[in-house]
Structure 1
Amino acid sequence: MSLPPLVEPAAELSVDEVRRYSRHLIIPDVGMDGQKRLKNARVLVVGAGGLGSPALMYLAAAGVGTLGLVDFDIVDDSNLQRQIIHGASDVGKPKVVSAAATISEINPYVNVQIHETALTNDNVFEIFADYDLIIDGTDNFATRYMVNDAAVLLNKPYVWGSIFRFEGQASVFWADQGPCYRCLYPEPPPPGMVPSCAEGGVLGVLCASIGSIQVNEAIKVITGIGEPLVGSLMVYDGLEMEYRKIKVRKDPNCALCGDNPTVTELIDYEDFCGTVSEEAADAIRESTITASELSDWVKEGRDIDIIDVREPAEWDIVRIPGARLIPKGDIISGAALKDLPTDKQAVFYCKAGIRSAEALAAAKAAGLSNAVHVQGGVVAWIKQVDPSLPIY
């Protein structure tokens, strides 16, 4: 459905701005009026990472007058494969600083507002309040639900995107005009069921595909042209080169925007989404060791069986010496339980400790009462024991 413009037009465009945006101005649906609305718009991008990078660059090029950036992370080597707003010389810098410099180079007429902080319940309302529209480029469920809930409670539209490996999704959530994120996903997936991009990977160019869709939708909402993805979910399959559009209806039973909402304020999103299942949380109590402790066990010649529960592609990149590979899925399904040791102490590890906690729970349920897992996984091993190994 078409919607009225979100933003009033600015008073005028300068001669230089007319030259810069001329290819927009000659599009009848945009024209001077639409470009003036873009100039007057205030857009906040949450996350200067995979999705935030192309979104920020194209928003800046399009002439959005004020761009806000929220991110607390620093640029890492592993970011450069997809986070194109950053370069090799930016490694070690705060992402918001790196991104702001690139934006200024793309378009000096953009006013950049930096929020170098983690978005939390304590600051989300204050930060969101100054913007007309939010673009969500986050990669974890806790922040996604917080962004949605804050946007609904403040009656602000936001453009959502999600990516994983070769697939992406995008939509516009605006409770005043249609469904919110909770209408589509009332509950987060069980902990450990959906791997993050850091665990499962993402094709770098997919970020551009979904990020550009997000910007396209933002421009449509700001200027009032076309039919934004309000009430629709765009699903993209990069391997099949296929787009599908799925209708999403406002849920009258939605906990947030339904007829009788039960969520009327921000909640504890880490608790709501969880990081590991209750079974895993129970399993790791008194059964967790550090990477340094594992190193000591190896030096002492302790009778242990080090088991890597990641995927084969991750195993090929880096591993703890002396380990063997049994993917978590095979342990959880029961297919590999027969391969677990009965005469040695099992020590499970993954990349960061989440998957190994789930594997530990399954192993303990199968009778391996003395099994443990490594807090922080192979990343902790690299940081604490052998910094010469690559972190991915």
Structure 2
Amino acid sequence: MLTDAETLRYSRHLLLDKVSETGQLKLKAATVLVIGMGGLGSPVALYLAAAGVGNLVLADFDELDVSNLQRQVCYDTSQVGLHKVDAAKARLSELNPEVRIRGIKKKMSAMQLGMEVGLADVVLDCTDNLESRHLVSQVCHRQSTPLIVGAGIRLEGQLMMFDFSQPDSACYHCLFPSTEEQALNCANSGVLGPIVGTIGSLQALEAIKYLVGLPSGIKNQLKLFDGVSLNWQTFNISKDPACPVCSGHGTN
């Protein structure tokens, strides 16, 4: 049962037939792992905390820099120099003290990542490099934990969802088989703040939908967002029968 205070806080959710008290209780019982607390992780964490996700695990090993504030809306100027996880925890606890927040302030080994993924109901990849995305996808597949991936650079965004609880799910390696690091990133190519805000907000939406039992409209799809035209392109992601991650032909 929800407390009287929770009923008031989440009253707009309770009015929705597709959420109601049943869905809100699912959110309260859920654990979500957010990997990366930058431009994507900021709106993700804010919306998940506001929505009443009961347990948030935030992973990031960076400290806040003033150049982050142009797009990382979870923070303010007074927090520059703090670990992002500490700064985010303070902000989110003020937003919703009912949410339990645990931070990981170091780069996780594959073993620790596997343990954290195993404890989560859904994982949100908000990282900014190809190597991390491949590793997170591999571990989520191994643990059969659904994964929602976002990316943003310049005026372009990407969004995808892999439901590894289903045996027919493709994986990140099926889409991007090369593990060579991309040269482009926000530091050298720039990004308009609302691009990552848009993608991160949609990652949070997909996570909430999954947790309350609503179907995803992007499962095994790559959604590309053009911030200039506001157009979306959709590409289906087919499971690669020779994929070393999800086909059963490799070790992961």
TM-score bin (small chain)? over 0.9
Equivalent residue for 1:41, pick from 23, 26, 30? 30
Equivalent residue for 2:171, pick from 153, 177, 180? 180
* Contact 2:147–2:164 (Cα < 8 Å) also in 1: no
Alignment gaps of 5+ in structure 2: none
Structure 2 length-normalised TM: 0.95
Amino acid at match of 1:137: C
Q: CA deviation at 1:223?
A: 1.1
Q: CA deviation at 1:129?
A: 2.2
Q: CA deviation at 1:116?
A: 1.1
Distance (whole Å) between structure 2 residues aligned to residue 31 and residue 142 of structure 1: 39
Q: CA deviation at 1:195?
A: 0.8
Quote the residue 1:61 is aligned against: 50
1:110 paired to 2:118: no
Distance (whole Å) between structure 1 residues aligned to residue 48 and residue 116 of structure 2: 19
Percentage of identical aligned residues:
40
Quote the residue 1:95 is aligned against: 84
* Contact 1:133–1:157 (Cα < 8 Å) also in 2: yes
Distance (whole Å) between structure 2 residues aligned to residue 176 and residue 61 of structure 1: 26
Equivalent residue for 1:206, pick from 177, 195, 210? 195
Q: CA deviation at 1:121?
A: 1.9
Matching of residues 1-392 of structure 1 within 5 Å: 12-177=1-166, 178-188=169-179, 190-191=180-181, 194-258=183-247, 260-262=248-250, 264-265=251-252
Amino acid at match of 1:261: H
Distance (whole Å) between structure 1 residues aligned to residue 86 and residue 137 of structure 2: 26
Q: CA deviation at 1:74?
A: 0.4
Identify if the C-alpha distance between structure 1 residues 166 and 71 changes in structure 2 by more than 3 Å, giving closer, same or farther: same
Amino acid at match of 1:183: C
Q: Secondary structure at the match of 1:129?
A: helix
Q: Secondary structure at the match of 2:110?
A: coil
Structure 1 length-normalised TM: 0.62
- Please report the RMSD computed on the Cα atoms of aligned residues, expressed in angstroms: 1.3
Amino acid at match of 1:118: K
Q: Secondary structure at the match of 1:99?
A: helix
Q: How many pairs align?
A: 250
Distance (whole Å) between structure 2 residues aligned to residue 172 and residue 130 of structure 1: 19
Q: Secondary structure at the match of 2:228?
A: coil
Alignment gaps of 5+ in structure 1: 1-11, 266-392
Q: Secondary structure at the match of 2:158?
A: strand
Amino acid at match of 1:202: V
Which structure would you say has the larger RCO, counting Cα contacts within 8 Å and 6 or more residues apart? 2
Post-superposition Cα deviations, 1:190-249, rounded to whole Å, max 9, x if no partner, equal: 55x541111111101111100011011101111111334211111110011111222112
Identify if the C-alpha distance between structure 1 residues 117 and 246 changes in structure 2 by more than 3 Å, giving closer, same or farther: same
Identify if the C-alpha distance between structure 1 residues 16 and 208 changes in structure 2 by more than 3 Å, giving closer, same or farther: same
Question: Rg larger in 1 or in 2?
Answer: 1
